[in-house]
């Protein structure tokens, strides 16, 4: 990208509260195809010609620690610390001393950034504007920051406008092309260091443009845990090819492997097993006798799909073990165990949209709210180290917190909070 911006800031210091129960670590550290989501965002930036990336992380430095095993073909990967989760504006300020000229700003879950930033940079060059935001049409304008537009010029952002008073139907989404001049406007708004208010102040005196995501292109971000399924689909479609089978894998001659399937080191695929891609089978995993793993399954390191199980469109983080049963459109976090005969229901009887109860942090308090998922197929989402007994029925869109126990023969109709048990 000759003459394009060469710096990018990735924000990865938030609490990920709405990503519960998969928020035992920052949401960008959930793994797809053996690597953290943030790795895929970095890779997209690198492939687009970005030469220096500043990652704003929390004081725990968990992002830095998680990325240490990976080597990036970059001249510079730097870190800044946000001690308290005070929003995007405050997070960006922590990287101020490392930035010069134009730079991209994005959240750590934007694995599609490589498809977008070139278009934003081209808009900056063609228009002469130093600031370009990314927008997308929405029917729910009251839920987002909405752009005030004059053609392709953006003059401000209205946060969660009242119904009927929205300035447009274009919401601002999580990739920005900014210039260091933006820092002159921080601290001058009603909500100190609020990014959208600061941008609106900047836009009063500086020409700013917008690139609108075309209709039909899915906007990828990890707001709620089920959004991980769309991120997986995008990464599989873009990068997964095959079949590729490690030389150390042991695949029985009666097993069937079709399509784009990647099988890692020391994997065992036992007698009669079927794997139909696209699928990723991580190192040291086991696909049991007569089991079926099909269609967008991501099984991370040490996963076990036991004998006579069927797993489809499901994500297992590392060390997840399931026995016989059906697991569809679901997500199991690290260390989960599931007994024989358990079934995840992944569709409503009327085939309508599945709604889910989610947690969010507001004013220091945790609140539970019902929200539509936009999906008509969604199974269970289970937090780290939860245990599910034999012959359990799990209803669509339900959530099991971290370190929970679901006893044998039970029917899960409602969410379980962290550490809660059902017998």
Q: Residue 365, Cβ neighbours under 10 Å: how many?
A: 7
In this structure, what token pair is assigned to residue 290? 């007569």
Which residue is it, tokens 């609108």? 212
- Would you say 6 and 51 are in contact if contact means Cβ atoms under 8 Å apart? yes
- In this structure, what CATH number is given to the domain that contains residue 128? 3.90.550.10
Give residue 405's domain range.
Answer: 234-422
Q: For residue 231, which phi and psi values (nearest 5 degrees)?
A: -60, -45
Residues 373 and 401 in one domain: yes
pTM, entire model: 0.93
Tokens coding 421: 């048990």
User: Is the domain of 286 the same as that of 418?
Assistant: yes
List the end-to-end C-alpha distance of the chain, in Å, as a whole number: 58
Q: How many CA atoms within 13 Å lie on the side-chain side of 68?
A: 5
- Please count the structural domains in the chain: 2
Token pair in block for residue 91: 């997070």
Residues 245 and 160 in one domain: no
Q: Are residues 191 and 254 in the same domain?
A: no
153 with 289, same domain: the answer is no
In 22-154, which ranges are continuous DSSP H helix? Answer: 37-47, 62-67, 88-93, 113-127
Burial letters 275-287, b for 16+ CB under 10 A, else e: bbbbbbbbbbbbb
Taking alpha carbons only, the member of 45, 32, 91, 99 closest to residue 72 is 45
Provide the residue-wise pLDDT of the chain in tens; the chain has 423 residues. 557 889 999 999 988 888 999 999 999 999 999 999 999 999 999 988 899 999 999 999 999 999 988 876 665 789 999 998 888 999 999 999 999 999 999 999 999 998 899 999 999 999 999 999 999 988 888 878 899 998 889 998 988 888 888 999 999 888 999 999 999 999 888 877 889 899 999 999 999 999 998 866 676 889 899 999 999 999 999 999 989 999 999 999 999 999 999 999 999 999 999 999 999 999 999 999 999 999 999 999 999 999 999 999 999 999 999 999 999 999 999 999 999 999 999 999 999 999 998 866 555 566 777 888 989 999 999 999 999 999 999 999 999 999 999 999 999 999 999 999 999
Residue 228 belongs to a domain: no
Q: In what order do the strands lie in the sheet with 393-394?
A: 256-258, 274-276, 292-294, 309-312, 325-328, 342-344, 393-394, 411-412
CATH number of residue 417's parent domain:
2.160.10.10
Question: Domain check: are 20 and 132 in the same one?
Answer: yes
């Amino acid at each position: 990208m000759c003459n394009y911006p060469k710096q990018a800031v990735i924000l990865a210091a938030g609490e990920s509260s709405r990503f519960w129960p998969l928020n035992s670590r920052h949401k960008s550290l959930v793994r797809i195809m053996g690597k953290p989501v943030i790795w895929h965002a970095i890779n997209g930036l690198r492939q687009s010609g970005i030469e220096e990336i500043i990652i704003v992380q929390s004081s725990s430095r968990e992002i830095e620690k998680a990325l240490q095993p990976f080597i990036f073909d970059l001249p510079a990967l730097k870190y800044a610390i946000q001690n308290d989760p005070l929003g995007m504006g405050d997070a960006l300020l922590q990287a101020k001393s490392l930035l010069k000229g134009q730079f991209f700003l994005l959240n750590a879950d934007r694995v599609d950034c490589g498809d977008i930033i070139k278009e934003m940079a081209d808009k900056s060059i063609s228009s002469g504007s130093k600031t370009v935001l990314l927008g997308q049409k929405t029917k729910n304008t009251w839920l987002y920051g909405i752009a005030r537009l004059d053609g392709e010029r953006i003059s401000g952002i209205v946060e969660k406008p009242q119904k009927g008073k929205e300035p447009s139907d274009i919401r601002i989404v999580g990739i920005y092309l900014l210039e260091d001049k933006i820092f002159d406007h921080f601290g001058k708004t009603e909500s100190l260091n609020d990014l959208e208010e600061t941008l609106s102040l900047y836009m009063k005196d500086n020409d700013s443009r917008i690139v609108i995501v075309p209709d039909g292109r899915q906007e990828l971000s990890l707001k709620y845990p089920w959004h991980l399924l769309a991120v997986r689909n995008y990464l599989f479609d873009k990068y997964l090819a095959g079949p590729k089978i490690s030389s150390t894998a042991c695949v029985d001659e009666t097993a069937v492997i079709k399509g784009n399937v990647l099988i890692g080191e020391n994997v065992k695929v036992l007698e009669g097993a079927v794997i139909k891609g696209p699928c990723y089978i991580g190192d040291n995993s086991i696909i049991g006798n007569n089991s079926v793993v099909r269609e967008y399954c991501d099984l991370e390191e040490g996963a076990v799909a036991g004998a006579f199980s069927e797993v489809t469109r499901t994500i297992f983080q590392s060390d997840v073990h399931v026995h016989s049963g059906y697991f569809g459109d679901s997500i199991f976090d690290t260390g989960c165990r599931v007994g024989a005969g358990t079934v995840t229901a992944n569709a409503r009887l009327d085939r309508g949209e599945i709604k889910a109860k989610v947690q969010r942090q507001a004013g220091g308090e945790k609140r539970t709210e019902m929200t539509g998922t936009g999906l008509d197929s969604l199974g269970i989402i289970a937090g780290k180290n939860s245990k599910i007994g034999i012959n359990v029925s799990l209803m669509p869109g339900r959530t099991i917190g971290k370190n929970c126990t679901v006893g044998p023969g039970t029917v899960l109709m409602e969410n379980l909070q962290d550490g809660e048990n059902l017998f």
